[in-house]
Amino acid sequence: MADRVVLAYSGDLGTSVGVGWLRDTTGKDVVALAVDVGQGGEDLDAVRARALECGAVESVVVDARDEFADEYVVPALKANALSLRRSSLVAALSRPLVAKHLALTATQLGADTVAHGCSGTGDDPVRFEAAVAAIAPDLRCIAPVRDLALTPDSTVAYAAEHRLPVPGGERAYSVDQNLWGRAVETGFLEDPWSAPDEDLYACTQDPATAREPDEVTVTFERGVPVAIDGQRFSVLRVVQELNAVAGKHGVGRLDVVEDRLVGIKTRQIAEAPGATALIAAHEDLERLTLERDVIRYKRGVESEWADLVSDGLWFGSLKRSLDAFVDHTQQHVSGDVRLRLHGGLVTVTGRRSEQSLYDFDLASDGDDAFDHSLSKGFSELWSLPSRIAARRDRAN
């Protein structure tokens, strides 16, 4: 059984060619593993069948959509992880889950090797390999497209020569999609001065089209979205529902130049309608229920969390310790947020919570609940270091 290699199989040209290539190069039987993280597109039964036609001895499809929603999307939401306009977090979020299923399958089958179809210019191979190293440190990890120097042309030639049932026309650009969003790069997009065409988008409609606004209320319990307009749903369903309604209004499009871990800049188009709406709602509810210094410090933690996940360190110790911090902050993040969706924009128009720290009486200008005279002492001592320094500066 150690003569098996488990390949993360997407059904595309690269991994389809990879089946035979891996078998020929390693002399091992190839097991194809497709993981459903909500990528949509082709039917996964067809994908499973193609792997067998391409020479896999076994072909497995795992429905990991709820696992993805509960264990990957929820931590990302608690950490407000798209708020920094980072399309990289779309792809980065599904890689560790796929790597985990690769490692699990390899362990079950006694395989000592796993493989993925990423090339060497992106960050995804690093994310795959770092995740595998962190959960199955002795598994070998092969990247045929990178290590065996596959180019687009040689891949097509190989497929033709071996009469592989691969998908016909390759797209002009590279796409990565899952429940949390969809990212596109390559092609004419590579000139960052070119505006993206409308047909690059698949999850969001043109925000410029005239429509009536929609309003949606999302309920959170301890940072987890649990209901829409009062109806309780699984997290998976919440995201799907919001993808639909926010996507209809063109919410959540990103067009950014980003830095890859491997040292180069890339231009990315992404769309993440449900994610954008959920993070806007979650962040807003935090402002109502968390203390000021928690909000301030958590911003830095969120930034580090997003960097770590983007850099492939999902299973690393630091990321897990940051999760402990974030989870601790979420105990009061419960309540309702009302969102307005229109014209590409998501707007919070109201928030309420039994855990609210907003005190109507203290905030009210006309009220006597707040003792104005305390402000004087505070202001004096708050200014004291500046005053002392100013006296020193004047004397010198």
CB of 70 to its own copies, least distance (A): 20
Question: Distance between CA atoms of 322 and 313, rounded to whole angstroms?
Answer: 12
Both tokens of 116, joined, read: 């993925």
Residues 3-32 within binding reach of its own copies (CB under 8 A): none
Residues 172-191 within binding reach of its own copies (CB under 8 A): 174, 185-186, 190-191
| Binding test (CB under 8 A) with its own copies, winner from 134, 200, 228, 272 | 134
Residue pair 31/57 in contact (Cβ under 8 Å)? The answer is yes
Cβ proximity to its own copies: between 146 and 237 the closer is 146
Residues 35-94 within binding reach of its own copies (CB under 8 A): 84-85
CB of 271 to its own copies, least distance (A): 12
| Binding test (CB under 8 A) with its own copies, winner from 163, 168, 199, 376 | 376
Those residues whose C-beta lies under 8 Å from the C-beta of residue 180, and which sit 6 or more positions away, are 38, 68, 72, 73, 76, 89, 90, 93, 94, 239, 272, 274, 275
Considering CB under 8 A, how many residues would be counted as binding its own copies?
A: 133
Cβ proximity to its own copies: between 231 and 364 the closer is 364
CB of 353 to its own copies, least distance (A): 9
Taking residues 135 to 164 in sequence order and writing x for each that binds its own copies by CB under 8 A, - otherwise, the string is: xxxx----x--xx-x-xx------------
Candidate ranges 36-44, 49-57, 69-77, 125-133; the one touching its own copies (CB under 8 A): 125-133
Look at the chain and count its residues: 396
Residue 10: phi and psi, rounded to 5, are: -105, -10
Please list the residues that pair with 341 across neighbouring strands: 214, 346
Residue 199 lies near its own copies (rule: CB under 8 A) = no
Residue 351 lies near its own copies (rule: CB under 8 A) = yes
Sign, CA torsion 44/49/55/56: positive
Residue 252 lies near its own copies (rule: CB under 8 A) = no
Cβ proximity to its own copies: between 57 and 156 the closer is 156
Cβ proximity to its own copies: between 136 and 246 the closer is 136
| Binding test (CB under 8 A) with its own copies, winner from 196, 205, 240, 248 | 196
Question: Distance between CA atoms of 52 and 112, rounded to whole angstroms?
Answer: 21
Question: Distance between CA atoms of 8 and 5, rounded to whole angstroms?
Answer: 10
Assign 3-class secondary structure to 90-108. HHHHHHHHHHHHHHHHHHH
